[in-house]
Amino acid sequence: MQAVRKWSLATELVHPVVPYDPAAGGTALPVNLSVSFGYDSSEELAAAFSGERPGYVYARIQNPTIELFERHFAEIEHSVASVTTASGMAAIAAIVLAVAAPGDEIVAGTSLFGGTFVLLEELFGRYGVRTRFVEPTDPDRWRRAITDRTRLLFVEAIGNPKLDVPDIGALAELAAVHGVPLAVDATAATPALIRPGELGASLVIHSLTKYVGGHGAGLGGIVVDTGVYDWTAGRVEIPPEFLERYRRLAFAAFLRLRIQQHFGGCLAPFHAFLFTLGLETLALRMDQHCRNALALAQTLSAHPKVAEVRYPGLGTHPDHETARRQFGDRYGGLLTLRLGSQERCFRFMNRLRLAKRLANLGDVRTLVIHPASTFCREASPERAEAMGVSEDLVRVSVGIEAFEDLKSDFEQALEVL
Amino acid sequence: MQIQINGIVKEKPDGLTVQDLLESEEVERPEMVSVELNDHILFRIEFRERKLQEGDRVEFIYLMGGGADRTAGDLGSAVALRRRPESKEWHDAEEASF
């Protein structure tokens, strides 16, 4: 039975279901930096270690600050559990480590963040886990790529930097038919645009570093178990001890108490605190990111020196209808421009006064980057094309500044071309 | 009514909510417990509203320290190694491990 949700996202973000600090009545998340937790007797410590009694043991396994943050985030996603990681990349790595063994396969969309592509193809390839890459917006390609060794479908809700938008519901149906989990990296969309679990996705990933924080201070990632996938009955093999003890939470427990404990890619408690500060204003900020990005995309589309603008909110975008339906008529803060050559891109970017040239997205400030010479520089020409990256492409992460100031900054920079 | 709590059948008064049950069972660290009811994880907002019924199966689950015991580790490793009998590499690994 689905719970009746009383509040909208903006309210849920600022009122955690499990209060942060009921003892003192504080509204901020208490930061507990303790690495380990003591008990009055050895017997009690042993009981906490074995799980016979609930209790914290060592911060690589769990920590009170981290646990409160994870509970809050799971509720925001209307999901059953979440597990934090040291970064968004660590979140993806943790999922693959949990679901795949040598000989297993992953099916992933082609238009992934460059770092994710390297992780899946090159690094997990070294350990015998093969990823088959398919056009993300064509469910039939996904269907044909699934084999009896497939253990995970992986896609970005908004491809970075291609900005394509797959039909999450269609992919979730496909995943359910084949008994494999569907993981959606929703970093660029955030819960303000989509809760993939409500469309049938099994896992949701966020780089907390991006829009969730918004401040560009502190790395972090999170894996959300939406509760859709039955880990006791699907193709993914979770060790039976975890299935028996943690039942419907077996995946989250395996991730938290085995993968994170032993691979060690944990979120720092202070960073969890920083992300709670960001979360409180996420809905407000996303409203402004989306408004600014749409207005900038429209302005630049009409500019004679811009060859092409790609933004899911434009009627000319091939996935506009999917995006409109899936994201509630909002389209995120990312857009790309084509300016004719790398040299022209660099000249334009160097002239910008407000927008920062740096490798991040989702910051409150407007950021620009040239993907072909930075985070996609390792891709072959064929791969770069599939990722939507060309030599003359600039990615813009539109911030929350006053739109008129952004417009004037971009227009004056285009004058150098 | 009779309900099953962590595998043990107990007699409880009719009309009990999940929150009432947490209190009557004096569940440790109730703010950090997850509750599975008849194979579904409940959301926190359901605790005060959801009334239990005859025959319900309730599990209290924590993701804090447990799962770190050696028994779990050995079981997990053994399963991982046995699951690919078709692979030569895994046979080798299995022989080396046991």
| pLDDT one-digit tens code per residue, A152-187 | 999 999 999 999 999 999 999 999 999 999 999 999
What is residue A3's predicted lDDT score, i.e. its pLDDT?
62
Cβ contact (<8 Å) for B65 and A247?
no
Continuous segment of H or E residues that includes residue A276: helix A269-280
Whether residue A271 sits in one domain with residue A307: no
Nearest CA in chain B to A7: B45
Look at residues A279, A308, A330 and tell me which one is the last residue of a structural domain. A279
Rounded average pLDDT over A308-316: 98
pLDDT in tens, A377-414: 888 888 888 889 999 999 999 999 999 999 999 999 99
Whether residue B50 sits in one domain with residue B10: yes
Phi, psi of A94 (to 5 degrees): -65, -40
Counting the structural domains of chain B, the total is 2
Helix (H, G, I), strand (E, B) or coil at B58: strand
Look at residues A220, A255, A279 and tell me which one is the last residue of a structural domain. A279
Whether residue B78 sits in one domain with residue B51: no
CATH of the domain at A319: 3.90.1150.10
Domain extent at residue B36: 2-61
Cβ contact (<8 Å) for A55 and B65?
yes
Inter-chain contacts counted by CB atoms under 8 A, chains A and B = 140
pLDDT in tens, A3-49: 667 799 999 999 999 999 999 999 999 999 999 999 999 999 999 98
Whether residue B37 sits in one domain with residue B83: no
Question: What ranges in chain B are assigned the alpha helix state H?
Answer: 18-24, 70-82, 88-97
Extract the tokens encoding A172: 């979730």
Residue A42 falls within a domain, yes or no? yes
Cβ contact (<8 Å) for A227 and B41?
yes
ipTM of the complex, rounded to two decimals: 0.85
Nearest CA in chain B to A12: B45
Query: Is the CB of B34 inside 8 Å of chain A's CB atoms?
Result: yes
Of A52, A101, A261, the CB nearest to B83: A101
Count of other CB atoms within 10 angstroms of residue A3: 14
What is residue A377's predicted lDDT score, i.e. its pLDDT?
86
Whether residue A384 sits in one domain with residue A260: no
Q: In chain A, what residues touch B45 (CB-CB under 8 Å)?
A: 3-6, 17, 75
Domain extent at residue A22: 9-279
Instruction: With CA atoms as reference, report the closest residue to B81 among B70, B89, B72, B90.
Output: B90
Q: How far apart are CA A405 and CA A238, in angstroms?
A: 52
Whether residue A326 sits in one domain with residue A249: no
Whether residue B33 sits in one domain with residue B72: no
CATH of the domain at A84: 3.40.640.10
Residue A349 falls within a domain, yes or no? yes
Rounded average pLDDT over A71-84: 97
Whether residue A264 sits in one domain with residue A371: no
Whether residue B53 sits in one domain with residue B16: yes
> Degrees (nearest 5) of the Cα angle A69, A73, A74?
120
What is residue B94's predicted lDDT score, i.e. its pLDDT?
38
Contact assessment for residue A64 and residue A32, using Cβ atoms and an 8 Å cutoff: yes
Sheet holding A367-369, edge to edge: A308-310, A334-338, A393-397, A367-369, A356-357
Phi, psi of A367 (to 5 degrees): -125, 145
Counting the structural domains of chain A, the total is 2
pLDDT in tens, B83-95: 343 444 443 433 3
Residue A1 falls within a domain, yes or no? no
Whether residue B44 sits in one domain with residue B75: no
Rounded average pLDDT over A252-274: 96
Residue A4 falls within a domain, yes or no? no
Residues of chain B with pLDDT under 50: 68-98
> Mean pLDDT for chain B?
75
Whether residue B43 sits in one domain with residue B77: no
Of B65, B75, B83, the CB nearest to A61: B65
Query: Is the CB of B43 inside 8 Å of chain A's CB atoms?
Result: yes
Query: Is the CB of B87 inside 8 Å of chain A's CB atoms?
Result: yes
